[in-house]
Amino acid sequence: MAGGAAPGGSVQSKTYREARGWLLLPAWVTLGILTLAPLTIMLVYSFLTKEFRGGVIWEFSLDAYDQFFFDRGLFGDEPPRIEWTYIGIFWRSIWQAGAATILSLLIGFPTACFIATRPEKERTLWVFLVTIPYWVNLLIRTVSMKFLLRDEGPLSDGLIAIGAISEPLGIVNTNLAVQLGLFYSYLPFMVLPIYAAVERYNFALSEAAADLYAPRWTVLRRILLPVVKPGIVAGCILVFVPSLGSFLAPDLLGGAKNFMIGSLIEEQFKGNAGNWPFGAAASMILLTLVLILLIASARQSQKRDG
Amino acid sequence: MKTLLKTTVAAAAMALIAGAASAEGKLVIYHWFEYIPQELLDKFSTETGVEVVMDTYDSNESLLASLKAGALGTYDVAVPGDYMVQIMANEGLLDTIAEGELANKGNIAPEWADPSFDPGRASSIPYQWGSTSFAVSRDVYSGDIATTDILFNPPAELSGKINMLDAQGEVLAMAALHMGIPQCSSDRDQLRALNDMLQEAKTHWASFNSDTAKEVLVSGDAAVGQIWDGFAAKGRAEGANIEYAFPTQGYVVWMDNVVLLKDAPNRENAIKFMDFLLEPENIAAVSNFARYNAGLTAVGEFLDPSLAEQPESNPPANAGPGVFIEVCDQATQEVYDQIWTNLKK
């Protein structure tokens, strides 16, 4: 994603050219079964009639999308108005994921630069250290985060002990806790692609710029950043997209008081509502949003390369 | 719809799993989390030679969703709550137990032998029963807690320190008791008032969580928690200074039941397991572990003596009525679903 792989090298040997189709077969089968088929089911279900208490009736219906965009009152018989509930839930999720992405970028970029400027032998060790938290399950990491942040937790107690605050922190069950949780969960996804980009950067360029009297800030802005931008974009996408659909952090750290996209969709399948077409429709809308984002970023990088 | 689903790849995969599970001498249980002691399952295996496999779920609704999504035919027995037995029967997810199939059926206590949610116990046997109310930290609040105001209109000391179960049925049933309206009301003024009351109450709540309902009370993260009676008793045993409330407005009563699922791959073993749980000594082991009540006669001598005395099992004289969660019709249920969405939006 960060442009790390060699650009599609041409196949020279005849043997390999013939085998190429077969070699791709497992990938196509996997994609077909694990991605395309479920997506198709979801798309079809979003246009079906809901069955009471879960399930679908095989009759075409736009009710799911109607419910998403139009508000007909508590009893469903008022004239339709724009429904802000679900748009609000999507907006909240985008905002939370965006905040987590920016936080990750602020911490991840310097970290990646630090690792990339270490002697070559040390770098492997640093990258290894970044990935260590990933040996632990996401649920356990999120619960641990809660234990750190809670009012009687070490962070709050520590800050009170050194006199930085007088009241307990009161972070748990707020949006800030959710953002911190998402940031912590996905930080390595930011660090690793940026590191891959910075590692390939030739620091002689920075030295050359400095020799020509460019101040440090200008070197960073005009030389380093444009070169490593693909890595930054990749990192941002890798943090933003999973954050957008997450429901562990909002449930455990945010107190589940407000739906996020992920928990709204979960409720349609696992909760009391049992409204599968609506869950599918919300998923399709989320998917469309992410797709637009990815296409926009792909276009931009095309423009740059072209 | 079911036949169409079965043609999909996902259902085919499910069928494969089911095929593998139906090898000789197995029993596949679908059960609530943290409920049945492993020793009891081991005892059943030793007695019968049947290998037991168990999956868990965390709410009646997720049990229903997963069975409807194609897990039927994978499991032999499940443990739905009262209202969910009725819903599952209506959905055609249950098998009928013929008269005489269960040797120990006579052990069922008379008051649980013919419940409204499963007349004549056609597909189920009693498992455990108890109540859902709330527990209050006595370190934080010393006033009267026998009122649903604690949850919905709390005193200042408790505001912002309340954890609710993340379960629509239990929250809305409690809210109906608080307002003194029916659980499946179709009166628009009542429903609007319910909606408004919950919006106001939410400003006092810290979180919605079922999985950690006990932990937040033990850790002190919450001072009030909507909770099941057995979980409150366990929390107390783990050192939390909490008291379980029986509000004068009433509280929710529930009964979990072992049901025989339709298309059970190991039906014979399922019947054996149900007979096993109808022996007082065995069901008492569940009660002693989970701190709930059993629905059998002659179970008393096997119960931990402290169980009968625990405050969570003994409503005081001024306690309101214990009511089951009701099953609403589709039109009514849709309004309640909307109220729940409004609450969590």
Q: Do B209 and A152 touch (CB under 8 A)?
A: no
Q: Are B236 and B143 in contact (CB under 8 A)?
A: no
Check whether A302 has a pLDDT greater than 70: yes
Check whether B269 has a pLDDT greater than 90: yes
Written as six digits, the tokens of B38 are: 């492993």
Mean pLDDT confidence for B270-295: 95
Same domain, yes or no: B84 and B20: yes
Taking CB atoms and an 8 Å cut-off, how many pairs form between chains A and B?
98
Same domain, yes or no: B324 and B288: no
Q: Which residue is closest to A37 within chain B, CA to CA?
A: B9
Same domain, yes or no: B68 and B186: no
pLDDT digits (tens, 9 = 90+) for A203-237: 888 889 989 998 988 988 888 899 999 999 999 99
Say if residue A75 is exposed, middle or buried (CB neighbours under 10 Å; 0-12, 13-18, 19+).
middle
Nearest CB neighbour to B1, from listed A51, A75, A150: A51
Chain A touched by B96 (CB under 8 Å): no
Same domain, yes or no: B76 and B185: no
Q: Looking at the 3D structure of chain B, how many domains does it have?
A: 2
- pTM of the shown model: 0.83
Nearest CB neighbour to A259, from listed B8, B62, B345: B345
Look up residue A77 and give its amino acid: D
Handedness of CA B105, B108, B111, B117 (dihedral sign): negative
A91/B47 Cα distance (integer angstroms): 57
Chain A touched by B12 (CB under 8 Å): no
Handedness of CA B19, B21, B25, B29 (dihedral sign): negative
Chain B closest CA to A96's CA: distance in Å? Answer: 15
Q: Do B169 and A272 touch (CB under 8 A)?
A: yes
Residue A216 lies in domain: 90-305
User: In which band, very low, low, confident or very high, does the pLDDT at A150 lie, cut at 50, 70 and 90?
Assistant: confident
% chain B with pLDDT above 70: 93
Q: Which residue is closest to A58 within chain B, CA to CA?
A: B1
Same domain, yes or no: B140 and B182: yes
pLDDT of residue B265: 95
Which of B291, B325, B255 lies closest to B135 in space, CA to CA? B291
Q: Residues 6 or more apart from A4 whose CB is under 8 A from it?
A: A196
**Domain holding B31: CATH number?**
3.40.190.10
pLDDT digits (tens, 9 = 90+) for B175-184: 999 999 999 9
Phi/psi of residue B322, each to 5°?
Answer: -90, 125
Q: Do A152 and B342 touch (CB under 8 A)?
A: no
Q: Are B120 and B114 in contact (CB under 8 A)?
A: yes
Q: What is the ipTM of this complex?
A: 0.81
With respect to residue A269, please indicate whether it lies within any of the assigned structural domains.
yes
pLDDT digits (tens, 9 = 90+) for A253-276: 888 888 889 889 988 988 888 899
Q: Which residue is closest to A150 within chain B, CA to CA?
A: B221
Q: Looking at the 3D structure of chain A, how many domains does it have?
A: 1
Chain B closest CA to A53's CA: distance in Å? Answer: 8
With respect to residue A28, please indicate whether it lies within any of the assigned structural domains.
no
**Domain holding A271: CATH number?**
1.10.3720.10
Handedness of CA A180, A184, A189, A194 (dihedral sign): positive
First and final CA of chain B: distance in angstroms? 31
Same domain, yes or no: B6 and B80: yes
Determine which of B192, B208, B215, B217 to mutate to test the interface with A (most A C-beta atoms within 10 Å).
Answer: B208
DSSP state of B249: T
Residue B244 lies in domain: 130-253+315-344
Same domain, yes or no: B150 and B82: no
pLDDT digits (tens, 9 = 90+) for B106-128: 999 999 999 999 999 999 999 99
Q: Which residue is closest to B161 within chain A, CA to CA?
A: A173
Residue with tokens 């106001």: B200
CB contacts, 8 Å: B9 with chain A: 33, 37
